[in-house]
Chains A and B, each alone.
Chain A
Amino acid sequence: KAGVTQTPRYLIKTRGQQVTLSCSPISGHRSVSWYQQTPGQGLQFLFEYFSETQRNKGNFPGRFSGRQFSNSRSEMNVSTLELGDSALYLCASSPTHSTDTQYFGPGTRLTVL
């Protein structure tokens, strides 16, 4: 099976712009989670989608949003970018149950200038 894929791999934006990141989970996986990784804060949970519904949300401002499509692919959007949004954004997928292993994609490196 193909692994979790994320596009694009690298992005450079300027403050105030918005950005959309995409994640394709492993075939058959219905849960997609997003994480932000920065040197200062480590890995922080953004949100999780399951069957097109947001199941869980982390402590991030409303500028961060996401959605999931019927084929389980997910997108996250960040509006009004700030310098502090520069990070590695990771997507993870898992089949269904809470006891499942989570598999991560390679990430999207976002740089905000």
Chain B
Amino acid sequence: KQEVTQIPAALSVPEGENLVLNCSFTDSAIYNLQWFRQDPGKGLTSLLLIQSSQREQTSGRLNASLDKSSGRSTLYIAASQPGDSATYLCAVRAEETSGSRLTFGEGTQLTVNP
């Protein structure tokens, strides 16, 4: 059974810092891994999707890497801003399941202080 873990559970940093969020998964047989952002009480916003054949994806100040063999992914946020404050979730789509089912981690709650 696929399990996804995110470390740390919470993170508080001053504005301008570069930071790394970690995600690990137990079964390396995945199709892809997706990073999401969730603001309080809101839905999920897709940030980056990494296919199993890819090593990394970049979007603006965000860079996500994937090491499928070791079951790890990192989300790097450069020059953090208060507007980056949110919960960040990673989710994997396992090969063992058909369809679009995602398995989520518990999330990292990020606070960027002005």
Name A's B-contacting residues (CB within 8 A): 4, 6, 31, 33, 35, 42-43, 45, 48, 50, 55-56, 58, 88, 90, 92, 94, 98-107, 109
Contacts and interface: CB of A to CB of B under 8 A. Distances in A.
B43 A105 contact: yes
Interface in B10-60: 31-32, 34, 36, 41-46, 49, 51
A69 B53 CA distance: 34
Interface in B49-105: 49, 51, 89, 91, 93, 97-105
Given A43-B89, A56-B98, A102 B103 contact: no
Contact of A33 (B31, B46, B100, B107): B100
Contacts of A6: 43
A48 B101 CA distance: 7
6 contacts: A43-B91, A45-B101, A55-B98, A103-B46, A104-B44, A104-B46
Contact of A102 (B34, B42, B98): B34
Nearest 5 pairs of A and B residues by beta carbon: A104-B44, A55-B99, A43-B104, A56-B99, A106-B43
A31 B100 contact: yes
Contacts of A48: 99-101
A45 B42 contact: no
Contact of B100 (A92, A105, A106): A92
A94 B100 contact: yes
